[in-house]
Structure 1
Amino acid sequence: MKIAILGLGYVGITAAACLASQGHEVIGVDPNQTKVNAILDGRSPISEPGVEDLIAQAQASGSLTATTAMTRDVASCELVIVCVGTPSAVDGSHSMTHIAEVSRQLAELVRANPATRLTVAYRSTIRPGSMEELIQPILESVLSDVKSQIELVYYPEFLRESSAVKDFFAPPKIVVGTADGQASAVIDELNKGLDAPVFYVKYRESEITKFVDNTFHAVKTVFANEVGRLCVQLGIDASEVHKIFVSDTKLNISANYLRPGGAFGGSCLPKDVRAFQHISRTSGGNTFMIDSLIASNEAHKSFLFEYATRNLEHGSRVLLLGIAFKDQSDDLRESPNVDLARMLITAGYQLSIFDPHVEPQNLMGQNLGVLSNSPFIRQLLVDRKSAEDTEWSLVIDTRGTIGNYSITAARIVDINRLA
């Protein structure tokens, strides 16, 4: 395949070297003459293990060249990969100057070569909505019929510096964003032979991927360091705590607790987080992220209420499916669903609650205390027949179990599957 790489930074250089090593004919384009000269001399302009050897081999075989200008050779490519930088602007946003300029230049090149048919894949990290609200309008301002000449794809990269070559050939995943969320034949051909899960999604889902990944990597690092600081303050061996923590791949290092959905609650998480925060405050741990957990959880409860009741008329009949904090449990202690019920009542909705596992006469201990503090639960609980025989304006499913019942509603919201 003939491929042009626009932007020869870490991502672009690595892509050019790796693709050329696979036998593709690669043209690197960058306005920096020093970078271009290095490639033409068979050298790498960056320090990255394995890249210089691949560039030297590609130069020797004639599969890699470079230029400072977007020449007609780019228009003759089957695939153009955009890897220009999106550095931080003063306000913290990504500066899209390079993205906008390279998009305009590419559109001008295609207009000057009407027979051009390109797949253009953007790999730069960009704000969700950029493909539809920035890049596509720029192309449309120059080209009368973009779709007939350009297949526009967002194709994020997952390369780490110092292991970029290894990551290129063994990515953790492949994400392909298109206008309709369908596959791109050119990108599929490019990735033939790679062993990784593939996701075909629309532009915005693909654009947000790198933000989610990188922010989570930051969260893990900050969490580990906050725990480490606290351990030092308490005279605890942080390395031993780390060994214990990462050994648990069932709950800790796993996909559990990572699906967007309901707020956390129950008898353990809220009280233990609060106690951990107190330990930090009294020992000088300065655990700012851990200290924010309860406040963020409370904000999420309010968000779920707004999310579920948007465009719902006051006074509407609402069924809350599940009041205990977890399915197949009658544990009401610090259940976020109790808080949601309070919000619904306060907002003036006609609320009923159906939870097949909660029977007031069987509650005891602290669970009975919840009923004392929230007597509306006892009054609003309905049985299965009432839940199924009533026409509801809204059902808020806190469990994802509504499919087990014959419940009729104008609208159903599963708060464990935000969409």
Structure 2
Amino acid sequence: MHSSAVFLIEFGAIILGLGLLGRFAGRFHFSPIPLYLLAGLAFGEGGLLPLGTSEEFVAIGAEIGVVLLLLMLGLEYTASDLVSNLKTQYPAGLLDAALNALPGAAMALLLGWGPVAAVVLAGVTWISSSGVIAKVMGDLGRLGNRETPVILSILVLEDLAMAVYLPIITALLAGVSLAAGSVTLAIALGVAGLVLFLALRYGRVISRFVSSDDPEKLLLVVLGLTLLVAGIAQQLQVSAAVGAFLVGIALSGEVAEGAHNLLSPLRDLFAAVFFVFFGLHTDPASIPPVLLPALALAVVTACTKIATGYWAAKRAGISAKGRWRAGGTLVARGEFSIVIAGLAVTAGIEPSLGPLATAYVLVLVIIGPLTARYTEPLATRLTGRRKQPPAARATKTEALPEALEPVDDGTADRA
């Protein structure tokens, strides 16, 4: 009885604290993810007040959080959208992988962590945060801009790449042989291809089977199906997160919209628990030694993400200002980076990888909304000064008062 009371007190305090942190972040219009990570650091190993009885439940909640994050991402897209994006935007996806994965791999090798850690850290630096980016674009009123489909295409390609990347990581971390790893990857690709085929050919049938006018029944069926498929996927040595993502892709229309509305609060709850769980297993004292490498990696990969977005938007015929906005928006890392690093932390391949990933995500999840907002005006100001001679700038300033100068808010680049 005493232990159950302590559990309720601890877990209730965690949820209440996360709610207050979320409200604080919302008031100042930034992502609550860094605050959740800091909360985990405060209550984890070496923190201010380590948890006791509730840690096992938090671990289970964290697994559910990962599953729901990937399910909700899958609900955003249809199978036809994914196929179309693969055909038109794959060059941008390849450039994205090259520019942003290689710095992480190089850093791991420079630190002497070995090839497996290099593959893991490559994934941490490669994948942008779809959740943070979607929120930032909504806050800035850019969902209707012409560069937005380019941004979403890159995010979709990254999500698809996870279906191949996560099984590879799982096999490497488990230390299985090349043959066993190849079988795992083949199973993952086979399952992904099968689900995409079923979604394209029988998506409406699946959606009708799941559909219900009763929100309670719809919630239970979708959530139960997702957890079941995720569990089966994990049993087959395929990532549970990939299984959940493919379930989301298979659902479409009103079912996807209804499930999204019903599951959003659950996703937010368990995703917050997931970020706390990651922080719980990171000793705050282990972060200072890796802070400089994390900062260096953050600066380099912020620049490479901006370059990726700029090139992809230019290829799509977007104006210069829209290109800079696309690049700046893609900088934020978040849930995917933590998921990948969490797999490595659980496997215990490199003690410093978790702290470095935590510091890296903390830096970029704070900088990301700032680069989304200020990359374009800063780049416009700098490039304008380089192109224009001083005399011309002075004449323009005198001829056009500051109050009458045109301001580009992105509406010119809207579809």
Shorter-normalised TM-score: what interval? under 0.3
More strand by share: 1
Task: Give the TM-score normalised by the residue count of structure 1.
Answer: 0.24
Task: Give the TM-score normalised by the residue count of structure 2.
Answer: 0.24
Higher RCO (CA-CA < 8 Å; seq separation 6+): 2
